[in-house]
Each structure stands twice: as C-alpha cells, then as structure tokens.
Homo-oligomer: A and B are copies of this chain.
Amino acid sequence: MIEITPNLNKNHKDPLYIQLYEYIKKEIETGRIPPGTRLPSIRKLSSYLRVSRNTVDTAYQQMMAEGYIESRPRSGLFVTELDDDFPVSQHKEYTSFDEYREYGPTAMEYTYDFRHGSIDQDSFPTTLWRRLTNQVCNGKDIYSYGERQGEIELRIELAKYLYQSRGVSCSPEQMIIGGGIQQLLGLLCLMIGLDGQSVAVENPGYDGAREIFAHYGFQVEPIEVNKNGLCLPQLYQSDCRLAYVTPSHQFPLGYTMPISKRMKLLQWAEKVNGFIIEDDYDSEFRYKGKPIPALKGIDSFDRVVYLGTFSKSLLPSIRISYMVLPEALLKKYKRFFYMYEQAVSKIHQLTLLLFMQQGHWQKHIHKMRKIYEKKHEVLRKAIKQHMGENVNVVGEDSGLHIIIEVKREETEESLIAAAKNVGVKVYSASKFWVNQKQNKNPQLLLGFGGLSEEEIDCGIQSLSNAWF
C-alpha cells in the first residue's frame, strides 16, 4: 500500500483539501505513485491523517475531475495510466511583470507629439458622455449579447446622419457596425472572397488597409494618385475588380476626387462587375465650405461599400466604425456571415445612440470642425513662418494632418532622430508609399489633432531649430 504523508497544516493559507490534493498530485506527477496504483481508501486515509472523510473525498474528487485518478465504484481509487515519456510539467516562475511597465503610456519622452489620430483632449464632452453612459448602465439592456449587426437603433440614427450630412441614402439593414475600419475590411475581404483576387489601392495610401488585403489573400495593386485622386488609366489597365479609395480626402495627401472622376470610377466598377470600397474616414473635417457628399451618394449602380468611423471625429478609444453594404454583398452577409458576434461594446453603442438622438453629435462635429480648422491654420502658418522655403507642404487639405517635404538630402530617419533630440515626435510618411522612389526628398507626417495651438507653434519652432 502506498503511503501518503503530507504535512497538513490547518493554519496554512490553503484549505486542508487543497494541501492534500496538491501533495498527492505531485506524488503522481513525479512518478513516486505509479499509474495503476490503488490509493488508500477515503476512510483509511482520513483516519490516518486525522481529518474528516469529506476532506479526503474532496481532494480525491478534484483529482478525478482532472483525470489523475479514476474511481472504480465499490472497488477503490486508482491512479490513471499515463504515458511516462511525457515531460513533467514545470511551471516557470512568473516574472514580476514590472519590466513590462516601460511600454506603458507613462513613457513620456516627447514634449510635442505630432501623432496622427489623436484628438483634441479638451473638447471631448467628458461629463456629458459619462452621464449618458451612466444612463445606459442603469438600463436592462447591457446584460445580454447585442445584435450582431450592431444595435438597430444606432443603425437607424446612423442612416439618418448619413443621409442628411453625407448624401448617402441607405437602410439600417445594410449597415454593419464594427470595431474599427480594419476589422470591417477583414469581414469585407471574407465576403468578397475569391471573386476578386486583385485589389487596387491608392499609392500613397493607408498602409493599414493594404496589409489587411494582403493578409486575406488579395493581390494588392498600387495605383498612382494625382491631384484628382486615383489615376484611372492605370486602374483600367489592371485586372482588378475591387478598389479601395478615399475620395473625400485622399489619405494621406488630402486631395478631393472631383465629380467627373467619381462617375468614371463608378462606371469602371460597373464595367468590370466589381466593387469600390469608399473609406470616408475623415470627411467631417473639411474646412472650406460644406462637406462634400460621399461617393456612395451617387452610386446608382450599387457598387460602393461605404466605410465610416467615429475614431477621428469623436473618440478613438471607444472603437466604433460602420459600413454600408450594397445589395449583392448584403445578401452574402445575411446568408453566410450572420453568426459573427458583434465585436463592439453594447454600452458604447447605446451611449452613442443617446448622444446622437439628443443632437449632441451634430453639435460636436461643428465644434470640432472649428477647432481643427484653427489648428490647421496655425500649423500652416507656423510652418511658413519658421521653415519657410526649407519645406514644401505636400498635403494640406486633409483634415487632421499635414505632410511636409523637407528640401534636404537627408533620410527621414535622421530627421526623425534629430526631432527626437529636441523632444518632438514626427512620423515618417514613406510607409504610405508602396514603391518608394529612391531619390525623393524626405516626407514627414504631422498630425495636429492632439496638440494645442501653442504646442503646435512651439513644436514647429523646435523642429526648425533642430533641422535648419
């Protein structure tokens, strides 16, 4: 008979049955108690250890649940046969985790961060948003899974907004809510599937979209961009049947696609029996005149997938984007993709719903447009004043960033490093190009959404001192 002699201690942090369980488990794992062995009966062991029968029973039960031992009723408990060529499981002692904290947001080595995608910190209506969130949390709706396409009420509100502000007429049924443009693009890739093995993308263009297409098995065809947007002859020459474009504000250059080219683009899609993906990521921030209607608004052929997001215009951290599908893709979605659970927080969705229903959204857009227009102006003036003829402003009609070309024979890396030395973070723009020309002047992206007007001016001044 195998002996079981654990050191049971009633004052130990773990209860008795756990101590017993851990002890026997270890004995089995190390092989001291070989497979097939009959363990002491519950009665014997409990009286030997002077603990209650239930204590032993619980420990045995736990091991049974995990499969270490087997019960043969009215016969005994036996250690399960294990393959002994299996390496003994050895838990690494887990590290203190403190070493990872350096990655956290506490690392503030930069005074001015011209990050793209940050928003104005002071103007987000924190109090209001919190109040609405509380209102939502008090409701009964947050304890179950949400609707898979996204909350219907929110989709209704979004459809209204799209009609009134972007000229897009769609039904809430066509709309799918998702956690960011990339996630929606992924779903879209699955839906379009192998019908379109090549996808045309703008060059320069959003690298995040390119990556998605590539990962989902598409051949990515970069198409040159000029002041009017995509170069159509190149598009026709390609064998693509799918194109990803940013017509309202070409990313990153900020160009607007004129109506004539929009129509030709739609005709292309009809001709090749394909689709156009319109990423309307930052159309809200057009500073000259009224916002331009979306491409989807004149999509008589029903070939445009419209993508919109709240990351730029409201708050990037709530992660809400949406997509409007044409009929053909909607059918596919309803048939094959309806079992996908919604990935966006229902709480945030319902909060946004209230925010829109009560009219705060429209107001917020107007307010932010003014604020960013002012910042945009300040940035342009600062560049002109402090840098003058040393740089060209390449894309300046875009909403929340500006691209400058530095007239120097230096690499972008060295300029970024020089900027870092004076506490300014700027970003390389070369990743937006697919086939970078070698002898091109370095181009840098300056996002200004998260900086105040003073910070923008000081930041540019520092940059100028560092570079020129």
Interface residues of A (CB under 8 A from B): 18, 21, 58, 61-62, 65-68, 80-83, 86-95, 97, 100-101, 103-105, 115, 117-121, 124, 126, 129-130, 133-134, 137-138, 140-147, 152-153, 155-156, 159-160, 163, 167, 169-173, 178-180, 182-183, 186, 190, 207-208, 211, 215-217, 228, 256-264, 266-267, 286, 288-290, 292-293, 297-301, 311, 315-319, 336-337, 339-348, 450
On whether the beta carbons of A159 and B319 are closer than 8 Å, the reply is no
A88 to B90, CA, bound (A): 71
CB contact between A300 and one of B90, B115, B178, B318 (< 8 Å): that residue: B90
Q: How far is the CB of A149 from chain B (nearest CB, A)?
A: 9
* CB < 8 Å neighbour of A87 from B130, B289, B300: B300
Nearest-CB distance from A420 to chain B (Å)?
18
Give A140's nearest chain B residue, CB to CB: B121
Q: Are A317 and B179 in contact (CB under 8 A)?
A: no
Complex CA–CA separation, A228 to B91 (angstroms): 25
Could you list some 29 contacts between A and B, CB below 8 A?
A67-B257, A67-B261, A82-B260, A83-B260, A86-B300, A87-B301, A92-B169, A94-B163, A94-B171, A97-B156, A101-B152, A103-B152, A115-B144, A118-B145, A130-B133, A130-B134, A146-B316, A179-B183, A179-B344, A180-B341, A182-B340, A186-B186, A190-B215, A217-B217, A316-B346, A317-B347, A318-B345, A319-B343, A319-B344
Q: Are A167 and B317 in contact (CB under 8 A)?
A: no
Residue of B with least CB distance to A134: B130
* Chain B neighbourhood of A92, CB < 8 A: 169
A374 to chain B, nearest CB (A): 18
CA distance A95 to B156 in the complex (A): 10
Contact between A179 and B182 (Cβ–Cβ < 8 Å)? no
Known contacts A134-B130, A256-B66, A260-B80, A289 near B343 by CB under 8 Å: no
- Copies of the chain in the assembly: 2
Residues of B within 8 A of A178 (CB): 343
Chain B residues with Cβ below 8 Å from A336 are 215
A288→B65 contact, CB < 8 A: yes
Q: How far is the CB of A100 from chain B (nearest CB, A)?
A: 5
With a CB–CB cut-off of 8 A, which chain B residues contact A266?
A: 86
Distance in angstroms from A21 CB to nearest chain B CB is 8
A345: which B residues are within 8 A, CB to CB? 317-319, 344-345, 348
Instruction: Supply 9 further A-B pairs (C-beta < 8 A) apart from A100-B172, A182-B341, A344-B345.
Output: A80-B259, A83-B264, A92-B169, A94-B159, A103-B147, A118-B144, A121-B140, A130-B137, A207-B339
Q: What are the 7 tightest A-B residue pairs by CB atom distance, in nearest-first order?
A: A67-B258, A179-B343, A317-B346, A89-B298, A67-B259, A62-B289, A97-B156
Rounded to whole angstroms, the CA-CA distance of A392 and B261 in the bound complex is 67
Residue of chain B at shortest CB distance from A187: B186
Contact A91 B130 (CB under 8 A): no
Distance, CA A152 to CA B58, complexed state (A): 38
Distance, CA A128 to CA B181, complexed state (A) = 32
Residues of B contacting A138 in the complex (Cβ-Cβ under 8 angstroms): 126
**Could you tell me if A260 and B67 are in contact, using CB atoms closer than 8 angstroms?**
yes
**Closest B residue by C-beta to A349:** B317
Residue of chain B at shortest CB distance from A300: B87
- Are A141 and B65 in contact, CB atoms less than 8 angstroms apart? no
Chain B residues near A133 (CB-CB < 8 A): 130, 133
Note all chain B residues with C-beta closer than 8 A to A342: 319
